[in-house]
Structure 1
Amino acid sequence: MSSAQTPSAHVFDATTAGFEKDVIQASLDTPILVDLWAEWCAPCKTLGPMLEKLAVEYDGAFRLAKIDVEAEQQLAAMFGVRSIPTVVLIRDGQMADGFAGALPEAQLREFLTRNGIVPGDGSANDAEVFDAEPETPEDAINRLQQAIAADPGQAELKLELAGALLRAGQVDPAQAELDALPANLATDTRATRLRSQLDLARALAGAPSLAELRQRVDANGDDWEARDLLGVRLLIEGDAPAGLDQFLDILKRQRDWHDGQAKKRLLAAFATLDDADVVGSYRRKMASLVF
């Protein structure tokens, strides 16, 4: 994205020459979200516009620094980029958080909220920022349903709603939202991924909460059912490595549990993830245990 295409004062192109001043020093006052992208990267073309829209909507709560990894290879190397898109949050001159891959907008909002960044928060003090409560799936559902009621033509919001419903464990309503998507979104990679996640989510019908499952696993590491369900919950809620680790642990220590269910879970999970590095890494880990 050239500077001429920058949609607002909250989005800018970062360069090697100006990085120290425009990103590191600037992050002492305002969090900087760094989007590492390339013109040839299809997921980048999905993620980039969403990040730009949020930067405008959040109106100074953070600034978005766009880095074209082809043009700024030194910066890409500095961040140790292995796949794109990669997003890194810089706060107080330090890398505070980040993720790889094109997340749905609802998860982007959750990422920002988790880091104390809320809309229109540019003038808020630090205590207010860090006291912000993360948006729960239920809050996201309410927000999205209200937005859809106000503007039913925003089909993108219906896709986000399907994701929020899925994270809340409302599998059938999530399926209904996906089935009702217009043709142009029905084949969207996010919709395809959500359908794969729905298959995993059906295993959570009547399952305990994330906190309860963590407690069960902490109390008894050999509670394979709790570990399996914990892995599914973590996957659905966006923490793929932690979820995959649960399945790997079962595969390593109790390979034949439930007729090899851990291996089946891993294979199903690989179909839901778009981070090639994560999938490749965990495929190799699985292979080392299976063969």
Structure 2
Amino acid sequence: MRAADPALDSLQGLALGDAFGDRWFSVPIDELSDALAVRTLRPAPWPWTDDTAMALVLVRHLITWGEVRQDALAGDFAAEYGREYHRDYGPAMHRVLRGIGSGGDWRAITSSQFEGHGSYGNGAAMRVAPLGAWFADDLDETVRQAELQALTTHFHPEAVAGAVAVALAAALAVRTRGRRAPGRAELLTEIAGRLPDSEVRSGLRIAARMPDRTSVRHAAAVLGSGLLISAPDTVPFALWSAAGHLDSLPEAIWHTVAGGGDTDTTCAIAAGVVAARTGLADVPPAWLAAREELPDWVAEVSTSS
């Protein structure tokens, strides 16, 4: 199952970023800045959230089917929610996943959200990096599969664009394994060029034009760091951060959390992308010991592959 290897690396990184970032969620920005200046870790344990719960479902689905089968995936998401509903799911996802779990048609449920516009939240993007790593050999397929998985919960085009952007970032990260990392502007520009006209694409283009000396706080203020819990307000910043630290997963996580906002999700996205390239080799053992363990099947698949 060699094709699963980068996806499993991405999954492990995503879960680490999610758990790390969640421990900084809602920390006042001044306190956050002071602690990050000396890189003080938050106390263990570091539980992971719905970001990881849904990513686990998605990866297991790919292992089973080799592709996204929307009816089955929607059912898988709802079943996992039924077991793990305490994982900080957002209000819209509570409604969506309860409806699907009760036997509703996911198409009707997702398209009826927000007066028929659908959710443009960041939930479809937060979980998708391992899928991008899985389909890294074919960028057109990466786009198609990212869209399919997004639509099972998020009907809005911006949510879909955000998911596609993250999947492409992870796929491109995998394709550079063992080689020089692309520059930040190069990577962000390539991703934006493959997206439809959208706020997400505009945000990535703005991010690509930011000078190298741009501070994290300034980038977060301009691009958004997830305070609105939307794809346009989350994905450009998370990918800007990842694209500047493609050779170090710990640096990518520290850098991303410094932006504040929806830190579990921004860190999950950035770490899922970077880990698709680096794996977890440079992660301090104490971080992995603090992070809540993933289900046994993850280790079993990693060993068998």
Q: Which TM-score applies when normalising by structure 1?
A: 0.29
More helix by percentage:
2
The higher-RCO structure (CA 8 Å, 6+ apart) is: 2
Q: Which TM-score applies when normalising by structure 2?
A: 0.28
More strand by percentage:
1
